[in-house]
Amino acid sequence: MNRLSRAKRSPASGLWKDGLKNAKMQRNLFLLLALTPAFGGYLLFTLYPNMLSVYYSLLNWNGISEPEFVGLSNFVTLFQDKYVWRALLNNLFYMATVPIAVISISLLLGYLLANKGYKGTSFFKVLFFFPNVLSTIVIALLWTFIYDGSFGLLNDFLRLLGVPIGNFYWLGEARTALAAIVPPYVWGGVGLYVIIFMNAMTTIPKSLYESAILEGARHMTILFRITIPLIMPIVRISALFLILGTLKGFEKQLILTNGGPAGATDVVGLYIFNLAFGTENHNYGYASAVGMLLFVILVTAKLLMDKYMPDRSVEY
């Protein structure tokens, strides 16, 4: 923050008092025009509805009946609801796997592309980013076909390798479905971070590497000793986006398994979605209460990150 505040010294220094006033007015007008549409829209379309949902969490309301104020009773129910905790546990699983997988694969691929100078690097760069172009729907659809038991690509591939897999439905068994959701997330997410990490890596002065190489350091050593520490701020932000994203996200589960089999891939976001939009009885009040829980979890995750991945140089 401080670095920035220094960056914006009074631009009018040295001008007349009148001019100063003028510049100040001009600046304020600029700020008003620059901030109002975006920030106003944010307040109106994002924050306000979310505030309303805080109020909803105190209601017994299915969206149709007269809303009934019930105080904190939704929160009492919440703590006794085993489905919430099951979903949360699944969330924790994804939070522990997806960001780590995405970041480590991206770092490795990014490092290889940025430093090894292999033939076709630019082709790989473009190709790796490609899944980011696709919508969630298409990605989920592709993976439905990959995992399908009878004509899925994965089983065909395994058969090719001689694994007698039969017609195994990867998304149909509780023991595999939970983990099977991870690859689609990783597949769709890696490309962006490869590019981001590569761009960060290219800003690292070559001289730092050269001395290390002269000293005979291996690539893995360089990656872990020099590259990663230097781009740590970026890794950290990426981790934040990914962790919050996997905690909030549910679209892939929605399309791939709808939380099944028997709730094995249910996550909190999906649970809320089904409470508010699912086929069974709706309860906006309760859905909002679970939303509050998710909010608390998201904030907690951020605080834990601050504690265990401290970095003061990243600012906003």
Partner 1 sequence: MKAVKMKSIVVALLALVLAMSMAACSGSGNGKTNKETNGASGAPNTSSPTATAQDDVYPENGLPKDEAVTLKFGFFEGGMGREYIDYAMDTFKKKFPNVSFEVVYSPKIGDIINAKISANDDDDMFDLFNGTIPGGVTPLVLAGKLEPQDDLWDHVLYDGNGKTLKQLVMPGAVEASVNVVQGKLYALPVAASGSGLFFNKLLFEQKGWNQSPNTWSEFVELLAKIKADGVIPITYPGQYPNYIEHAFGPVKMFELAEINGNLEEFTKNFRNFNLPQHLSPESIEVWKRIYELGQKGYFPEGVAALSHTQSQMQMIQGQAAMVATGVYVENEMKSALPPEFVWGYMSVPMGDDPNGTRWIRSTASNGHYIWAGKPDLNKQWAKEFNVWMWNLDVQEVIAEKGGQLPVRQDFSDDETRAGKLQNAPKAMFEYMNANNTKMEGAVRDRTLTDPSVSQANKVIQEGTIGITSGNKEPLPILEEAEKLIEKAIQAQK
Partner 2 sequence: MREKRTIIDVVWWVLLIAWSMAILFPLLWVFYQSLRSNPSFFQDVWALPESLNWMNYKNAWIKYGIGNAMLNTLYYVGVSLVLGTFLTTINAYALTRIQFKGRKLMWALIMLSLFLPGINALIPQYVLMRELHLTNSLTGLILLDSLGENVFFLMLLGGFMRSLPKELEESGFLDGASIFQVFMRIIFPLSIPGIVTVAIFKFLGLYNNFLGPFIYLSDQSKYTIGVSMYAANQMMQYTSDWVTMFAGVMIAMVPSIIMFMFFQRWIMEGATLGAVKG
Place of tokens 């019930």: 70
Q: In the complex, what is the shortest distance from the CB of residue 144 to partner 1, in angstroms, rounded to a whole number?
A: 8
Closer to partner 1 by CB, 18 or 280: give it: 280
2, 5, 150, 203: which one binds partner 1 (CB under 8 A) = 150
| φ, ψ for residue 165, nearest 5 deg | -90, -20
Q: Facing residues of 59 across strands?
A: 69
Position 2 contacts partner 1 (CB under 8 A): no
Q: Using CA atoms, how far apart are residues 296 and 77, in angstroms rounded to an integer?
A: 17
The DSSP secondary-structure symbol of 166 reads -
Closer to partner 2 by CB, 128 or 178: give it: 128
Q: Interaction with partner 1 in 242-271: which residues (CB under 8 A)?
A: 257-258, 260-263
Site string for partner 2, 64-103 (x = CB under 8 A): ----------------------------------------
248, 282, 298, 305: which one binds partner 1 (CB under 8 A) = 282
Closer to partner 2 by CB, 61 or 264: give it: 61
Q: In the complex, what is the shortest distance from the CB of residue 77 to partner 1, in angstroms, rounded to a whole number?
A: 10
Position 233 contacts partner 2 (CB under 8 A): yes
Sign of CA dihedral 98, 101, 103, 105: negative
Q: Using CA atoms, how far apart are residues 10 and 19, in angstroms rounded to an integer?
A: 12
74: left (phi over 0), alpha (psi -120 to 50) or beta: alpha
The DSSP secondary-structure symbol of 38 reads I
Task: Choose from partner 2, partner 1, none: what does 79 bind? Cβ within 5-8 Å by kind.
Answer: none
Task: Choose from partner 1, partner 2, none: what does 177 bind? Cβ within 5-8 Å by kind.
Answer: partner 1
Q: Residues in the chain, how many?
A: 316
Binding range to partner 2, per CB under 8 A, among 38-46, 82-90, 162-170, 258-266: 38-46
Nearest alpha carbon to residue 129 among 147, 109, 148 = 109
- CB 208, CB 218: distance < 8 Å: no
Task: Choose from partner 2, partner 1, none: what does 280 bind? Cβ within 5-8 Å by kind.
Answer: partner 1
Position 16 contacts partner 2 (CB under 8 A): no
Q: In the complex, what is the shortest distance from the CB of residue 176 to partner 1, in angstroms, rounded to a whole number?
A: 9
Which amino acid does the sequence have at 271?
Y
Q: Using CA atoms, how far apart are residues 314 and 252, in angstroms rounded to an integer?
A: 31
- CB 271, CB 153: distance < 8 Å: no
For the chain, the maximum distance between any two Cα atoms, rounded to a whole number of angstroms, is 84
Task: Choose from partner 1, partner 2, none: what does 192 bind? Cβ within 5-8 Å by kind.
Answer: partner 2
Nearest alpha carbon to residue 271 among 91, 46, 138, 136 = 91
The DSSP secondary-structure symbol of 214 reads H
Position 309 contacts partner 2 (CB under 8 A): no
Q: Interaction with partner 2 in 111-140: which residues (CB under 8 A)?
A: 112-113, 116-118, 124-138, 140
Closer to partner 1 by CB, 90 or 283: give it: 283
Closer to partner 1 by CB, 154 or 239: give it: 154
Nearest alpha carbon to residue 143 among 265, 262, 247, 263 = 265
Ranges of beta strands (E only) in the chain are: 59-60, 68-69
Q: In the complex, what is the shortest distance from the CB of residue 20 to partner 2, in angstroms, rounded to a whole number?
A: 12
Tokens at 27, concatenated: 């600046």
Position 262 contacts partner 2 (CB under 8 A): no
Position 48 contacts partner 2 (CB under 8 A): yes
Position 47 contacts partner 2 (CB under 8 A): yes
